Amino acid sequence: MKNETLEKTRFELVYFPRCNKQHFLTDNDREIREDLAEGDTLPERCIVEKVITLTDSEWSEFTTSLLHDRPDWFEGIGGSFSDSPRLQDISWPKIMNDPGLLNEFHRTSSVRVVEVRCPLYAWSIFVNTEGYDYARYVGRSSEYDHNSTQWAL
Q: What is the pLDDT of residues 99-129, one digit of tens each?
A: 999 889 888 989 999 999 999 888 899 999 9
Confidence label for 8 from pLDDT (cuts 50, 70 and 90): confident
Rounded to an integer, what distance in angstroms lies between the CA atom of residue 71 and that of residue 78? Answer: 12
Instruction: Using a pLDDT cut of 70, give the percent of the chain over it.
Output: 91
Check pLDDT > 60 for residue 146. Answer: no
Residues 6+ apart with CB under 8 A from 142: 12, 13, 14, 15, 43
| pLDDT reported for residue 106 | 85
Distances (CA, A) of 131 to 79, 120, 127: 7, 28, 11
CA–centroid distance for 36 within its chain: 16
Residues 6+ apart with CB under 8 A from 98: none
Per the model's pLDDT, the better-predicted residue between 152 and 88 turns out to be: 88
Compute the mean pLDDT over every residue in the chain, rounded to the nearest whole number: 87
pTM of the model: 0.85
| pLDDT reported for residue 21 | 83
| pLDDT reported for residue 134 | 94
Tens of pLDDT, residues 43-60: 899 999 999 999 999 999
